[in-house]
Amino acid sequence: QKEVEQNSGPLSVPEGAIASLNCTYSDRVSQSFFWYRQYSGKSPELIMSIYSNGDKEDGRFTAQLNKASQYVSLLIRDSQPSDSATYLCAVILTTQGAQKLVFGQGTRLTINP
């Protein structure tokens, strides 16, 4: 089982609708979770971080975390064409005192005007 898994997509959503991106992780002790957005040919940029069970909202973005189910999701409300990108889920793993971020393979999202 991969440490972090995402549906690679592509996911197509009409403009103005809600885009829902999902991610599962294998390490039960993970405490820190992140969503990054990556435009084609560019480096990833942080959108949201979440550490506690429940929802965390920031503008049009909502991250949801369920540690019991080892599941983290990202909702994008009122989707815009500029939201079209690849979304990467990432989890902090601590191994022998060293922290590293483990990424899923990314979900490619397309918002259709």
Partner 1 sequence: DGGITQSPKYLFRKEGQNVTLSCEQNLNHDAMYWYRQDPGQGLRLIYYSQIVNDFQKGDIAEGYSVSREKKESFPLTVTSAQKNPTAFYLCATLDRQETQYFGPGTRLLVL
Cβ of residue 54: shortest distance to partner 1, in angstroms?
Answer: 19
Those residues whose C-beta lies under 8 Å from the C-beta of residue 95, and which sit 6 or more positions away, are none
Q: Which is nearer to partner 1, 68 or 98 (CB)?
A: 98
Q: Which is nearer to partner 1, 75 or 102 (CB)?
A: 102
Residue 23 near residue 72, CB atoms below 8 Å: yes
Binding site for partner 1 (CB under 8 A): 4, 6, 8, 32, 34, 36, 42-46, 49, 88, 90, 92, 97-106, 108
Q: Which is nearer to partner 1, 20 or 105 (CB)?
A: 105
Phi, psi of 83 (to 5 degrees): -80, -10
Cβ of residue 86: shortest distance to partner 1, in angstroms?
Answer: 9
